[in-house]
Structure 1
Amino acid sequence: MAFMLLTRRLACTFQHNYRLLVPSSRHISQAAAKIDVEFDYDGPLMKTEVPGPRSRELMKQLNMIQNADAVHFFCNYEESRGNYLVDVDGNRMLDLYSQISSVPIGYSHPALLKLVQQPQNASTFINRPALGILPPENFVEKLRESLLSVAPKGMSQLITMSCGSCSNENAFKTIFMWYRNKERGQTGFSKEELETCMINQAPGCPEYSILSFMGAFHGRTLGCLATTHSKAIHKIDIPSFDWPIAPFPRLKYPLEDFVKENQQEEARCLEEVEDLIVKYRKKKKTVAGIIVEPIQSEGGDNHASDDFFRKLRDISRKHGCAFLVDEVQTGGGCTGKFWAHEHWGLADPADVMTFSKKMMTGGYFHKEEFRPNAPYRIFNTWLGDPSKNLLLAEVINIIKREDLLNNAARAGKVLLTGLLDLQARYPQFISRVRGRGTFCSFDTPDESIRNKLVSMARNKGYLLCQQNGGVRPSLCGMPLVCSLVPLTGHSSMGLSLCTCSAPGPVQSLRNTEGKYNMVPPLEGLTCHRGQQTLKSVVKAEGQVLCREECTGRQEIRGSVRQGRGFSGGK
């Protein structure tokens, strides 16, 4: 019974909060609520269990061609909009998983639809060039408008790729070449090096290594897999390299109660990093680089303090190792900064930084000194896709115009507060609530409870990360899985507000007993149809109505806009 109540309240939490997050659902033209109504759904709508009968049939068909055991369900992307993913059985779910954290501003965003429909962009989407040898005329211009406009500090060089794994794999190669050039000096390749590399022998193939952390996930190609340590199923049966693996801090929560213990834990891990660097140098497998995620994502949402990363950066400098930050999952704004490593406050945060997922394309930034000294050393057929740069430029425009980074920071604070409230109510099911921005998660006692919670939430219309209780909302889901968390005290209470006819700030929400008063951040939320300030609402006769004397007393179930208001219809 308690578990079912938790599921209802958790679902209520995500539904209420997600509505506070929807500013990026606005049309690029800023025109009008009507467009937003057409773009957004008003909530989950479940017709069958998930997967439903049509999904199960398609899964059987796919399984005849390939192993389809990982498939959750089949999707109808034509009907998916905003934060809602629709499956082939007509179930509409609030997507807090966002395609493994890779959807930046929701499904079928009007601005992106407009972009792909413009005739001048047709050739970019139809023709995919081999960018390393035959790039289009506007390639540099589009890189400047997209990726280079958000380049991290100190990194002016950019190489595009197609996914996170190939980004990390080629970043490793870049680091190895840089390190060998340091050792070799400015001389060219020797005859011995050129000959021995062809038979996988030193000195042409030096015995360098990349130091990684237990719990990390950096990809599934051979080099990346040697630095991936999240799940055995990823690695079993695959030959690998003898590269060092350091422990990643296992912090205790709440952080304020375990300051000393967590400092000691981080110091222990940093000491082990240094010991491994020395050990592998003695083994003649020199650590050329260190790779780390700002938040270990697929490995379980493991966090460390900003101070830990600053000290890790110092260690890399001390020992002459390249410092590679993997922002494949944390990049793009979900932590409240465009790049999660910005929270560390470093002027020189990294030598190389990889990205993918929400960035629409893969690739990596690096310092000038890491630039390959010859063509074809970092190369593949496509080297990315120029159509993705076109889309990304518009995504970045929307993020800036709609102030989505600040929205993510505000939303995350309230989301975390709501999850902490659920943890206090259900400590037998939820523990170690943690997060940065909307990149939030919690632990469950065991895998069976986690799977049951994820399954029950999905059948109520809420998609969560499978590996933990994590949420990965798109940026168009930012300030509400967020400001309405306190309303979860009554799981039957939906967010339903009456209409007014001119904007005004929403200041508080409460039920008829006066409990669960809404607290900031609700500033700037407005009802775009209202003539009076919408100050508070109460639940009455199954609806939530505005207490002010308004022109519209009917219930409204549309989306909330930061700085814009509620829109939608019954």
Structure 2
Amino acid sequence: MIANLDKIQFASAVWYFTDYKKSLGNYIVDVDGNSLLDVFSQISSLPLGYNHPDLHKVIQDPDNQIAFVNRPALGIFPAEGWPEKLTNSLLSIAPKGHTQVNTFACGSCSNENAFKATFMWYRNKQRGGAPITDEENSSCLINRQPGSTPFTIMSFKGSFHGQTLGCLTTTHSRSIFKLDFPALDWPIASFPRYRYPLEEFAEENKAEDRKCLAQVEEEFERFNKSGRFVAGVVIEPVQAEGGDVHASPEFFQELQRITKKNGAALIIDEVQTGGGATGKYWCHEHFNLPDPADFVTFSKKMLTGGFYSLPEFRPQQGLKIFNTWMGDPSKVLLLEKVVEVVKRDNLLNLAQESGKRLMDGLKDLSKRYPQHIKNNVRGIGTFCAFDLSSPQKRDETFVKLQHHGVQSGPCGEQTLRLRPSLVFQPHHADIFLDILETVLNDIQTV
């Protein structure tokens, strides 16, 4: 099957073909009939696992089939009842302070359009209410100022925000994503890199926060003085693709203060962290920010992409935040049911319970197998990760876990990340930990 696909497109990234009819709950089944406990869940994008019966009922409802058959250009031809669907799904779980939401198809276009909305807001502030000039309208068509602005978005080393060109400028996780593509000269600051266990290195990690925040201040000053104004700062609550790198609530609180002081917008990229895996719908809710984030972008477990924004970021002209489909109503129908199931079955509490079982077990294994697992197990809810002692050992562990019936996911240089669905239960955590210990006993000590 891979050979047949490779005739059509480059297929070397494919791990295996999947039998989605047989996959169920927390288990993925490949076309050879192998069943694996899936703690990766389609790169963190399955909220309720495979073939959840409540989602099948949504598709079988004749009234809903219209939305699956007819995909509208939502920016021009939304269906009757569309505002109510958004209210029942996305707005019912909106982050604090957010009443505005725009839908898109994926995480990259969600971030890309959040950047655009940030630039519009920043330019409108500069205009101070003055009308758009003829010179602006004509110059933007040939990529010149004043119509094309010199604005920038600040990002962080190790980040991943997508693979469209604007998002790639803010992505700094792996060279494979960026090589050969042009990038914009935008500011980059350091994301904290903590020493573990955290409780033993509290002062050192506070110093790391201060160092990174000082860089943020320096980049604001350097770019703003040069006229390449920093309109926004984009950041993940946890740098996922970059190796599951965490920062403290205090870091995020101070980052918000610095961003506001400099008149910029804070864009929190919850594409991978949003949707409940951390025990809250939005990971940044764990940080107790003094004010709502300006933008929160989402995709993956939310089934549709998009962004929330505060009212002051609402576009003042049509067709500015726009594409043909603007998302997909069928995905919002499914999300509406997911939200209902999450509340009905207390799945956010389950994520906390199962996450504690995972974290406790991983920390125990790191103490008993220090030759294999580094002492930096980290996570919030089931959004967990651990480092192996070398990149080679990480790769060996990843493959052996597959051979023993577990689908995990690599990230960073030597990290294995866990991204189970919201129906992942403590006994599934026990199964994973038992198999991981079997693998640790089987791999070579280097």
TM norm structure 2: 0.95
In the TM superposition, residue 78 of structure 1 has moved relative to its aligned partner by 0.7
Q: Which runs of 5+ in 1 are unaligned?
A: 1-57, 493-570
Do structure 1's residue 353 and structure 2's residue 300 form an aligned pair? no
The one of 186, 201, 211 equivalent to 1:258 is 201
Q: Secondary structure at the match of 1:106?
A: coil
**Residue pairs, 1:142-153, within 5 angstroms:** 142-153=85-96
The one of 315, 324, 328 equivalent to 2:258 is 315
Do structure 1's residue 287 and structure 2's residue 230 form an aligned pair? yes
CA contact (8 A) 1:408 1:475 kept: yes
Report the counterpart of residue 303 of structure 1 in structure 2: 246
Report the counterpart of residue 228 of structure 1 in structure 2: 171
Do structure 1's residue 439 and structure 2's residue 383 form an aligned pair? yes
In the TM superposition, residue 119 of structure 1 has moved relative to its aligned partner by 1.3
1:99-156 Cα offsets, whole Å, 9 max, x none, are 0000001000000111111111111111000000000001111111110101111111
CA contact (8 A) 1:92 1:461 kept: yes
1:468-487 Cα offsets, whole Å, 9 max, x none, are 21100000113434467887
1:225-275 Cα offsets, whole Å, 9 max, x none, are 000000001001100100001000001111001000100011100000000
CA contact (8 A) 1:411 1:483 kept: no
CA contact (8 A) 1:313 1:349 kept: no
| Letter aligned with residue 106 of structure 2 | C
Work out the number of aligned pairs and report it. 435
| Letter aligned with residue 157 of structure 1 | Q
Report the counterpart of residue 244 of structure 1 in structure 2: 187
Report the counterpart of residue 138 of structure 1 in structure 2: 81
Report the counterpart of residue 416 of structure 1 in structure 2: 359
Report the counterpart of residue 480 of structure 1 in structure 2: 427
1:172-228 Cα offsets, whole Å, 9 max, x none, are 000000000000011221111111101101110110000000000000001000000
Structure 1 residues 447 and 457: CA distance shift in structure 2, 3 A: same
CA contact (8 A) 1:153 1:347 kept: no
Do structure 1's residue 458 and structure 2's residue 402 form an aligned pair? yes
Report the counterpart of residue 6 of structure 1 in structure 2: none
Structure 1 residues 408 and 236: CA distance shift in structure 2, 3 A: same
Report the counterpart of residue 496 of structure 1 in structure 2: none
The one of 245, 251, 273 equivalent to 1:330 is 273
Q: More deviation in 217-226 or 462-471? A: 462-471
Report the counterpart of residue 565 of structure 1 in structure 2: none
Structure 1 residues 184 and 215: CA distance shift in structure 2, 3 A: same
C-alpha separation between the residues in 1 aligned to 2:425 and 2:336? 20
Report the counterpart of residue 89 of structure 1 in structure 2: 32
C-alpha separation between the residues in 1 aligned to 2:302 and 2:54? 16
Structure 1 residues 196 and 488: CA distance shift in structure 2, 3 A: closer
CA contact (8 A) 2:111 2:297 kept: yes
| Letter aligned with residue 465 of structure 1 | G
CA contact (8 A) 1:360 1:388 kept: yes
Report the counterpart of residue 272 of structure 1 in structure 2: 215
Report the counterpart of residue 19 of structure 2 in structure 1: 76
| Letter aligned with residue 134 of structure 2 | K
C-alpha separation between the residues in 2 aligned to 1:166 and 1:286? 22
In the TM superposition, residue 448 of structure 1 has moved relative to its aligned partner by 1.4
CA contact (8 A) 2:173 2:241 kept: yes
TM norm structure 1: 0.75
In the TM superposition, residue 410 of structure 1 has moved relative to its aligned partner by 1.8
The one of 389, 393, 418 equivalent to 1:449 is 393
C-alpha separation between the residues in 2 aligned to 1:326 and 1:490? 34
C-alpha separation between the residues in 1 aligned to 2:78 and 2:60? 22
Greater Rg over alpha carbons, structure: 1
Report the counterpart of residue 187 of structure 1 in structure 2: 130
Report the counterpart of residue 320 of structure 2 in structure 1: 377
CA contact (8 A) 2:354 2:425 kept: yes
C-alpha separation between the residues in 2 aligned to 1:485 and 1:114? 30
1:408-430 Cα offsets, whole Å, 9 max, x none, are 11221121010011101111111
C-alpha separation between the residues in 1 aligned to 2:437 and 2:372? 19
C-alpha separation between the residues in 1 aligned to 2:193 and 2:379? 14
**CA RMSD, Structure 1 to Structure 2 (Å):** 1.5
The one of 154, 157, 162 equivalent to 2:100 is 157
| Letter aligned with residue 398 of structure 2 | V
Q: Which runs of 5+ in 2 are unaligned?
A: 440-446
Structure 1 residues 191 and 399: CA distance shift in structure 2, 3 A: same
1:475-518 Cα offsets, whole Å, 9 max, x none, are 011343446788789969xxxxxxxxxxxxxxxxxxxxxxxxxx
Q: Secondary structure at the match of 2:245?
A: coil
C-alpha separation between the residues in 1 aligned to 2:138 and 2:16? 51
Structure 1 residues 392 and 489: CA distance shift in structure 2, 3 A: closer
Structure 1 residues 489 and 373: CA distance shift in structure 2, 3 A: closer
Q: Secondary structure at the match of 2:109?
A: helix
| Letter aligned with residue 125 of structure 1 | F
Report the counterpart of residue 112 of structure 2 in structure 1: 169
CA contact (8 A) 2:48 2:423 kept: yes
C-alpha separation between the residues in 2 aligned to 1:465 and 1:491? 18
In the TM superposition, residue 446 of structure 1 has moved relative to its aligned partner by 2.1
Q: Secondary structure at the match of 2:423?
A: helix
1:70-91 Cα offsets, whole Å, 9 max, x none, are 0000001011110110111001
CA contact (8 A) 2:401 2:436 kept: no
Do structure 1's residue 127 and structure 2's residue 70 form an aligned pair? yes
| Letter aligned with residue 171 of structure 2 | T
CA contact (8 A) 1:439 1:471 kept: yes
Identity, % of aligned pairs? 52
Q: More deviation in 186-195 or 386-395? A: 186-195
CA contact (8 A) 1:414 1:485 kept: no
Report the counterpart of residue 417 of structure 2 in structure 1: 470
Q: Secondary structure at the match of 2:126?
A: helix
